[in-house]
Amino acid sequence: MRRRRARCSTWLACALGVTPVMSAEPIAASFFTAEQSSTGQQLYDQKCGGCHAPDLGEGSHGPALRGDHFWATWGDKSARELYGRILSTMPSGDPGSLSQRQVLALMAFILATNGYPAGATLLESPAQLDAVKISKAKP
């Protein structure tokens, strides 16, 4: 019954031209594995740490991928946007050279570093990132 009521509320909001509001907290369900995050960390160390800081802080040539700067830049944007930016512009010396699988691993590492939980679900497709809004967890 509760599920039916939620569907009806969503349908009614859409019919009236109102956009349903999503939670500002990161989604609780995980969408990448700890192994993917670990692979992403290794790749980050090899391909990204030279410009961005090794700890994802602000580096000599790249912005921070964690903390206040990260939230100011990427907060409230879709994770797919960040994925697209990395895929098309990174690494700066060889843009577009990373595979889809490598960028998904980097996304897992960056999101894990920013508080998103790892779990049993493998991040296999950029489409999985469409519904993920990059949001700082509420204290």
The domain spans of the chain are: 25-129
The segments of the chain whose pLDDT lies below 70 read 1-29, 137-139
CATH superfamily, domain 25-129, is: Cytochrome c-like domain (1.10.760.10)
Between vectors from CA 124 to CA 121 and to CA 125, what angle results, nearest 5°?
Answer: 125
| Residues in Cβ contact with 76 at an 8 Å cutoff, skipping those fewer than 6 apart | 133, 134, 135
Q: Which pTM was predicted?
A: 0.78
Task: Judge contact between 80 and 130, C-beta under 8 A.
Answer: yes
Average pLDDT, the chain: 82
Reported as half-sphere exposure (CB side, CA atoms, 13 A), residue 6 has a value of: 4
At 30 the pLDDT is 86
Residue type at 98 in one-letter notation: L
Task: Report the alpha-carbon distance of residue 2 to residue 39 in Å, rounded.
Answer: 40
> In whole angstroms, how large is the CA radius of gyration of the chain?
17
At 12 the pLDDT is 33
At 44 the pLDDT is 97
